[in-house]
């Protein structure tokens, strides 16, 4: 299925190439712009072809990835954490919609503004949009899988957090119930609960009062059954049962481990694509900004970048391209953070329970967790991290400044009498 799809699109890619060759011959003779132009023209087809090739190579890995993923889900379900994929499907749909919309808008706008509808060749602009569309869809794959992983991590973390919360809450109620001798008032818990704040605040230290909600409501979907019942008999939560909890925590640690491994696999499958995506995003955004600047100062723009003649198109293009990169980076950053948070959650449990056995278990597990970190890199060149985004933004700005400086110098030497823009005057209106 995957292969069929890939080849199908591969044929289309060959259709798209002539347009690029055409574009190159039309490209103007300035050395700098030619260099950039060649790079960018061949970037998207290269990206697409590499995507497809790597996709074909990675088919088996992808299948095994899904198998393992399913296993993880089953294990989570055994711990009665249900990960619903609704958010994921919604997100995939939204991403696909955004992708199609962006590509279509770009293609249609550029067709509308710069092409002659009577000329059949100009329809090639739609064909030219295909490579970017395909590559973006590949990225949507990556992003959605990443998001799924992140959700699993989150599920584990929230589960652990809730366990702690429930435990703390339960202890508090236990204390209170012991005080008020109302152990068998099963369904009256709510009322006692209601009294709880005043009670606690008046008698005990004016501590933090956990928001007083009967715990049926505090517990969302992802909670196992024993804790849902507000019966005093079942108040013995798993946290009190050390052995049971040890098994459970061990299980979670293994699940975490497995998810981390999945993340590494995912990263290995997509690392080259990510590198290409970042390179492409960097190049194209810089170029687009530069030519937009050229357009604003009324200079000639090479035909290849005529989309920069229109501010709307170029802004859409920049936002769309930047959005792709930023979204991927943001997601991987979040996933990394969630993976790291698990260790903290484990320790929180240990702190809340405060028993010797527990400490031993958790110390043991947390060392394991410390060694098991998931990190997303682009071929190992740089982390897919927000810091990368920071540095890339800085790089784009400095390159832009350099390019503009070149440009200014060139124009000054051509027309020394012309009053060209000076930075001070351009900054003044913004004051």
Partner 1 sequence: MFMFFWSFVLNLMKRRFYIDFDRAIDDIKHELVKCNPKLALKQVKNRKVKIATAIAVGVVFSTGMIFDGYNMFQMLGITFPFVSIAYGFPFWIGCLVQIQFIAFINVVAEHFEWLNEVLEQICEECDKQKSYKFKLFDIQTDFIQKSTLKKLEVGKKPKEQEKQEEDDEPQHTERYLVNVFRIHNRLYQTGVVINRAYAVQIVSYMTVAFVIIVFGIFLETKVIFLVGGINKYLDYMAHSYALWALSLSIVAYIVLRLCCRVQREAKRSALLVHEIMQRKPAFMLGNDIYYNRMKCFTLQYLHWENYFHFNGLGLFRLDYTFIFSAISAATSYLIVLLQFDLTSEITKHEGKLDD
Q: Assess 352 for contact with partner 1 (CB under 8 A).
A: yes
431 part of the interface to partner 1, by CB under 8 A: yes
Please choose, out of 3-11, 136-144, 229-237, 364-372, the segment that lies near partner 1 by the rule CB under 8 A. Answer: 364-372
Gap between the Cα atoms of 158 and 247, Å rounded: 18
Q: Does 430 bind partner 1 (CB under 8 A)?
A: yes
**In a 3-state reduction of DSSP, which class is residue 372?**
coil
CA Rg value for the chain:
29
Minimum distance between the CB of residue 206 and partner 1, rounded to whole angstroms? 6
Helix (H) or strand (E) segment spanning residue 7: helix 2-26
Contacting range for partner 1; rule: CB under 8 A; set: 23-31, 120-128, 303-311, 401-409: 401-409
Q: Write down the least CB distance from residue 108 to partner 1, Å.
A: 30
Q: How far is the CB of 340 from partner 1 (least distance, A)?
A: 4
Phi-psi region of 197 (alpha: psi -120 to 50; beta: other; left: phi over 0): alpha
DSSP 188-221: GHHHHHHHHHHHHHHHS----------HHHH--S
400 binds partner 1 (CB under 8 A): no
Pick between residue 141 and residue 153 the one whose CB is nearest to partner 1.
Answer: 153
Span from 41-49, 131-139, 185-193, 369-377 in contact with partner 1 (CB under 8 A)? 369-377
Q: Is 50 in the site for partner 1 (CB under 8 A)?
A: no
Return the residue of 343, 372, 374, 378 that touches partner 1, per CB under 8 A. Answer: 343
Contact range with partner 1 by CB under 8 A, out of 5-13, 276-284, 299-307, 415-423: 415-423
**Closer CB to partner 1, 235 or 341, in the complex:** 341
Angstrom distance (rounded) from CA 392 to CA 400 = 12
For 127-193, the DSSP string reads: HHHHHHHHHHHHHHHHHHHHHHHHHHHHHHHHHHHHHHHHHHHHHHHHHHHHHHT-TT-GGGHHHHH
Buried b or exposed e, range 235-261, using 16+ CB within 10 angstroms:
bebbbeebeebbebbeebbebbebbbe
Check residue 172 for interaction with partner 1 (CB under 8 A). no
Q: How far is the CB of 347 from partner 1 (least distance, A)?
A: 4
- For residue 325, the minimal CB distance to partner 1 (Å) is 14
Rule CB under 8 A: say whether 409 interacts with partner 1: yes
- Contact region for partner 1 (CB under 8 A) — 35-43, 189-197, 243-251, 417-425? 417-425
Total chain residues near partner 1 (CB under 8 A): 53
Could you give the CA distance from residue 167 to residue 160 in angstroms, rounded to a whole number? Answer: 11
Residue 300 C-beta: closest distance to partner 1, Å: 21
For residue 359, the minimal CB distance to partner 1 (Å) is 3
Our finding on whether 360 is near partner 1 (CB under 8 A) is: yes
Q: Residue from 7, 183, 381, 390 that binds partner 1 (CB under 8 A)?
A: 390
How far, in Å, CA of 79 to CA of 72, rounded?
11
The site string for partner 1 over 322-341 (x = CB under 8 A, - otherwise) reads -----------x---x--xx
Question: Are 243 and 202 spatial neighbours (Cβ–Cβ below 8 Å)?
Answer: no
Q: Identify any residues that bridge with 378 across adjacent strands, giving them in sequence order.
A: 382
Tokens 């109620």 belong to residue? 173
Work out how close the CB of 321 gets to partner 1 at its nearest, in angstroms, rounded to a whole number: 19
315 contacts partner 1 (rule: CB under 8 A): no
Q: Are strands 377-378 and 382-383 parallel, antiparallel or unpaired?
A: antiparallel
Centroid of chain to Cα 411: 43
DSSP state of 382: E
Tokens read off for 399: 């390159």
By CB under 8 A, residue 402 contacts partner 1 = yes
The 8-class DSSP code of residue 335 comes to H
Q: Which of 269, 350, 244 is nearest to 62 (CA)?
A: 269
Q: Does position 175 bind partner 1 by CB under 8 A? A: no
Residue from 31, 119, 298, 424 binding partner 1 (CB under 8 A)? 424
Between CA 422 and CA 305 the distance in angstroms is 25
**Taking the complex as a whole, how short is the minimal distance between the CB of residue 197 and partner 1, in angstroms?**
13
Q: Which residues bind partner 1 (CB under 8 A)?
A: 205-208, 333, 337, 340-341, 343-344, 346-348, 350-352, 354-356, 359-360, 362-363, 366-367, 369-370, 373, 385-387, 389-390, 394, 398, 401-402, 405, 408-409, 412-413, 416, 419-420, 422-425, 427-428, 430-431
């Amino acid at each position: 299925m995957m292969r069929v799809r890939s080849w199908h699109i591969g044929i289309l890619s060959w259709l798209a190439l002539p347009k690029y060759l055409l574009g190159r011959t039309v490209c103007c003779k300035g050395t700098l712009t030619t260099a950039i132009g060649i790079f960018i023209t061949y970037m998207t087809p290269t990206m697409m072809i590499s995507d497809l090739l790597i996709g074909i190579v990675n088919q088996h890995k992808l299948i095994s990835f899904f198998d393992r993923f399913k296993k993880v889900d089953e294990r989570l379900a055994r711990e009665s954490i249900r990960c619903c994929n609704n958010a994921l499907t919604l997100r995939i749909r939204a991403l696909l919609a955004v992708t199609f919309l962006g590509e279509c808008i770009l293609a249609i706008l550029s067709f509308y503004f710069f092409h002659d509808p009577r000329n059949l060749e100009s329809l090639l602009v739609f064909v030219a949009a295909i490579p970017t569309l395909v590559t973006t869809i590949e990225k949507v794959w990556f992003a959605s899988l990443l998001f799924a992983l992140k959700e699993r991590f989150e599920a584990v973390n929230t589960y652990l957090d809730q366990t702690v919360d429930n435990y703390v809450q339960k202890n508090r109620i236990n204390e209170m119930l012991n005080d008020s001798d109302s152990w068998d008032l099963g369904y009256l818990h709510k009322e006692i609960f209601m009294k709880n704040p005043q009670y606690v605040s008046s008698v005990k230290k004016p501590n933090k009062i956990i928001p007083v909600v009967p715990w049926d409501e505090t517990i969302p979907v992802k909670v196992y059954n024993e804790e849902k019942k507000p019966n005093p008999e079942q108040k013995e939560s798993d946290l009190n049962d050390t052995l049971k909890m040890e098994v459970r925590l061990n299980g979670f640690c293994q699940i975490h481990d497995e998810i981390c491994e999945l993340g590494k696999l995912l990263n290995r499958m997509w690392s080259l694509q990510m590198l290409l995506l970042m390179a492409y995003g960097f190049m194209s955004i810089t170029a687009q900004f530069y030519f937009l600047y050229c357009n604003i100062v009324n200079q000639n723009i090479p035909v290849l970048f005529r989309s920069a003649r229109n501010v709307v198109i170029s802004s859409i293009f920049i936002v769309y391209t930047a959005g792709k990169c930023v979204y991927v980076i943001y997601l991987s950053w979040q996933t990394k953070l969630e993976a790291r948070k698990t260790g903290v959650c484990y320790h929180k449990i240990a702190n809340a329970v405060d028993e010797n056995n527990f400490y031993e278990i958790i110390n043991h597990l947390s060392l394991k967790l410390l060694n098991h970190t998931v990190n997303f890199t682009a071929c190992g060149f740089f982390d897919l991290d927000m810091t990368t985004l920071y540095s890339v933004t800085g790089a784009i700005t400095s390159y832009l400044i350099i390019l503009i400086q070149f440009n200014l110098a060139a124009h000054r030497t051509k027309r020394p009498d012309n009053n060209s823009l000076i930075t001070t005057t351009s900054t003044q209106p913004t004051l």
